[in-house]
Structure formats: C-alpha cells, structure tokens
Structure 1
Amino acid sequence: MRDLPDHDRLYTALLARDPAFEGVALVGVASTGIFCRLTCPARKPLARNCRWFASAAEAQRAGFRPCLRCKPQGAQADAHPVIGQLMSALAQRPGHRWSEACLTEMGLDPSTVRRLFRQHFGESFLQMARAERLRQGIGRLHQGGRMIDAQLDSGFDSASGFRRAFAQLFGHAPHRMTADADLRADWLDTPLGGMIAIADTQALHLLEFVDRKALPAGLRRLSAMAGGRIGLGRTEITAQTEAALGDFFAGRSGLLQVPVKLAGTPFQQRVWQELQRIPAGQTRSYAQLAQAIGQPSAVRAVAGANGANRLALVVPCHRVIGADGTLTGYAGGLWRKEKLIALEAGYRNLAGISQDTAR
C-alpha cells in the first residue's frame, strides 16, 4: 500500500500549490472541517491544522467535508467548468466537425481552451474531437463499409484527410488492413478515452490509448513483427479485453485477467510480469520494482521498460510512482494516471474491508 510523503513535504507542496501532488494526497483542515486539493487557491491553513489523506473517501470517513471551490472528489480536470462543458458537448455530438469558430460561438476563447486541454490531457480539444471522428470512420470500415462512407461518417471532407489521420494512428493506410490478417485491430471506448486493442485468437498483443504519441511507432513495430498481417476486426480475446475493462472502470474488478503476448527482451518481460503482480490500489517506486526483480541497481532500465510497455492497464505501469510519492511520467498522460490511482483507491478500500471482515 502506498505511504504518503511526510508532513513537511506535503505542507511545502500545499503552500506552492504543486500540481505534481494531484492524485497523491488531499489536505483536511482541522479548523474548518473541510478537505481540499493541495492545489486549491483558498487561503492556506497553518501547518498544525493540516491532516493528510490518500483519497477523498478517507477524508470523508474522518469527518471532513469536500471543498466547494477545488472539488477534491474528482480528478483535477473534472473541477474545471470549461472542460466539463466541452467534454459533454463532444459526447453529445461525436461526429461534429469542431473548429475554433465553434468554440467562439459557445462564448469560449480558443486559446484558453487549447491551453486547458493541453495542460490536463496533453492534447487540444480539437485533436480529441478529430480522434473521435476517426473512431467512427474505423467503426464503419470494420463493419465492411466503403471508404467514402467511412470518410463521410467521420466528418472528413476529403479521402486524403481521412487516410492521413488513419495512417498517423495505425502506421499505414486503411487499404492495407488486410482481410486475411493474423492480428485484428479494434477501437475500444473507455471512460478515459479510446484505446486500440490488437489481438489474435490466443492473446492480446497491444492495448494503448489512441492519443499516445508513441502509438504509431508501436503499431509499425508490431506490424513488422506480424509481416504486415494486421487487419481491422476483433477476436474473442478483444471481447474479453473489452469486458475486463468494463468491470475495471465500473469498480467490479481490479484484475484485468486477459491472456497477453509480452513481446520484449527477457529483462523487459521480467519487469512487465512484476508490474502485473502489483494489486489494484497499491503502487511501487522504480527502485522497489528493480529490487523486486533482483536487480536493485537497474532503476533506469526499469523505467525504460515501463515506457516500452504496449499493454496499458493490463500491464499496469501506471502503478509506478516517484520515490517521494509524487506522480511521475505516464505515456497515457498524467491526468489519466491521476484518475486511475483515484479509481483504484476504491479497490484498496474494498480489500481492507474484506480483510477486516475475515478477522
């Protein structure tokens, strides 16, 4: 189970409103009975009045009420009204061709929107909207639709525009997704955004968020390993992965038990296997992970293996944090890491309840 950083470090982070501590700790103020994010803009309490909690549930069980200003019960992005407004609009109109003019018509400043989304998600709102339109086009092709139908469904005004977006994501054009492929690629929707799943009839080979910058390169490597035989579609393993993700995000199971193909060096495979042994609701530092595989001096190599993981969530590299308890780099975006750790705190609490019941 993750231990919180010490009082002095947390209080220093509170005074500095350090965003690195989002998802790491919350502060309860004894003099007011309210708990907040460490980034809350409210007046800072005295150090002696601070109590520290790993989750909103823990703070509430201790008798503290959530701050109405920083809304500590959700992830950081959830607290911003502009982000909430646009995410709701995108969900209602996923096929709409969003532009800066649309944002202006909604009374929003495009540069502010761009800054907010890049700060919280690592990409702009318009990039998110483009990915959603591409998802619809991929779905149409997956169902056997013609290229022109997929192009129109996804809101692209030219075939070349659709092909460019597709090639950027998959590493090759749609017509190369062969019908007699050995591996099948499909888009899976999750509460944290779209994911690409690639599987054969035996195992899951890749599961990545579609906005990860290294995804096209990873897809090209996988395509080369499969001799280019990757097609659109799904297998029973894809359906199993989708069901496991549904249970995970619904809070029903922290175990994503899916057969996987760990394609990497022996060292990388040992790191990935050790990652799979970390229970939901717990975290490890890179140093602890290196110690666990019997190579305590290989901290940097362990970090490199984490970054090379192509099976997000199933091989849970998001459960690795800094030695000081802060969130560190995550290829899927720190905002996702924050939300995943907050989600998995519920599994940690359930495990504690089960243990108490057993005693």
Structure 2
Amino acid sequence: MTDTQTLAAAGDTAIPDVMRAAVLFGPGDLRVVDRPVPQPERHQVLVRVAMCGTCATDLKLVDGHFPQTPPFGEFTPGHEWTGTVAALGEGVDEFAVGDRVCIEVHAGCGRCDNCLVGRYTACLNYGRPAKGQRASGITVNGGFAEYAVHDIKALYKLPDQVSFEDSVLITTAGTGLYGIDVAGGYMAGQDVVVIGPGPVGLMTVQLCKQLAARRVILVGTREARLRLGAELGADELVNVREVDAVARVRELTGGDGADWVIESSGGSGVPQQCVEMTKRGGRIVFVAFYPGPVTMDLSAVVRNDITMYTSRGEGGNNVKRAVAMAATGKLRGAELVTHRFPLEDIAEAFRVVRERDGDPIKVVLVP
C-alpha cells in the first residue's frame, strides 16, 4: 500500500497508483497518458478531480506561450478545478477525506513582502515552487487529471447546496470580486459597466448586482451571451455590433458616463472605450489580459481624474467570499457550463474552445 493509500484508508477511499492525466509534451502537443498519482506533502491534500474548466489562458499554455510553466513532458495544465478530498498530507486537520472543495489557483509563498500583506497573486516568488509558491495548472501541475494536489491555504469547502458545476466557476468569480475589492468595493447606488460577457464578465455582473449597483450595463458582441447576462442580472445590454458602445453608455447614464467600468474582454481597442465611457472622477478596473500593447488617451484619464486599477487573478480571499455568495444562491455558475467532455477527449474540447464551435461559454473536462 502506498503512503497516499495509507492516508486515505480512514475514509475507505481507494486510490490507485496510476491515473490518467493530460500532459503537455510540446506546443500544441497535449496528450492524455498514465502518470503516478501525486502524493500530498505537508499542508497539502490530494483531491479527486470532479471537473476542470478551460479558458483562454489554457490556450496560451497549450500553445507554449506562457512563462514559468514546468518543462514539456512533465506539465499538466488546468487551473479551474473542483473535486473531493481523497487524502491528507502531514499537518492537515482543516479538511477531511470526502470534503467537497474548490480552489484558488494561487497559493503564495507566504514569506515575501507581497504575500505578507495579502497580495499573494503577485507573489515575488512566482514560478518558484521550491520557495512555496504554487499556481495550479500554471507553475505546477493542475486539474486536467484524475487527481491533483493542492495547498490547504488556497482550498475551500463547498456547502452542500453548491454543485460542482457552480463551483468550477467560483475561481472565475473570485477574479471579478478581487478586481472590485482592489478598486474599493463600494458601488451601492452607482452605475457599473461590465465589458465582455465571457465567464469573468458574466460572474462579475452577478457580483455587481449583489453589491447593490444601481444599474449594471453589460457590453459585448455576442447576442446569446448578452441575453444570458440579462438572465443573471444585467439591467441594460449593449451590443457593439449594433450601436456605438460609448454613445449608448453615455445615453444610459444621462451623459455623464459610468461610475465604474470593469474591463474583462481583453480586446486591444477596449481600454480607450473604457476611458470614453467613464464618468469624470470614476474608476476603471482591468481584469483582462491583452494580446499585446494597447493604446489609450492617458491625458484624458488625468484630465477627467479617472482612477485606473488592475488586479491579477482571484486574490484577497475573494474566493472564500464567492463561496459564501454561492451558498446563498446569489452567485450562479452552472448556467455558464455549456459543454462537457471526458478527459480523454481533451483535444476536441480545446478545438471547441479555440474555434468557438457552438458558442461555448465554459467548457469543462470530466476525468
């Protein structure tokens, strides 16, 4: 019996020695192969993965265009996963075998200046697992596998009423909530624009409504996603293929512009639109990544006393807050899961994501 099986024996959980995992062997060369089941180290748990979501970052990872990942032939991506605790590492008493859990991607080193003030998604030891930093599916192996290990400081128990489909979007919700948190958090009675009705944007729409925004305006290009945004709480929809987004936002806000603009689309021309649709003295929050440098009128930002904020990932303990919101039914993720594939069909899943075949919102892999 392996050490992992010994650890799990109390929960009568049979853990094999070998599992199926998607391993990146080179740019575009992602194969599902046999790999040893990993052993949880001190302050880690082993999780039986229930499902793992895909996103645009995974496309960059698979294409080999993402820094600080483990070497080809060793690396399993997947950073949006959820599952059930199968075994406990040394020193773990916060969780029990059988607990349903969701994750934060980032576990900071806990020793650098940024981690010590809670900015662990900007850990100064990012990409150095030997120093204690772990970004699941990015700097260490992740969730495109039957089992994954994870640090307990980036793990949360799921309430019974929160499904795995909901929880696979909770990390995504944490990204939007962290951006709001960084920008001050308080938006009660204010007008908010969310640009980009992808998973981050659609979860952020719900967050803004729960934070008592007066009006949430969702801006995007795909009508079906905009309609889903309305079902999730958006008060106004702006299809940029049909109207001038800046003019429409100005119209909806009495000519002043929005108090908040939250940019989650990653479109190269969108930052300038953000500047033009933000109220004098308002805020712009950037949570997206961009394919290259962007251009914006910074003088207009200064002239209009607009404050710009950026945030990376799901930091600031905001996944914990998102779990609490999901537990009360105020944050819905399952409706965004549009496609499910078995792990063995990961190549087809990524084709669907890349080609947007069938207008996927969240594609998940089920081991």
TM class by smaller structure: under 0.3
More RCO (CA 8 Å, sep 6+): 2
Q: Report the structure number with the largest CA radius of gyration.
A: 1
Provide TM-score, normalisation by structure 2: 0.25
Structure having the higher strand fraction is: 2
Structure having the higher helix fraction is: 1
Provide TM-score, normalisation by structure 1: 0.25
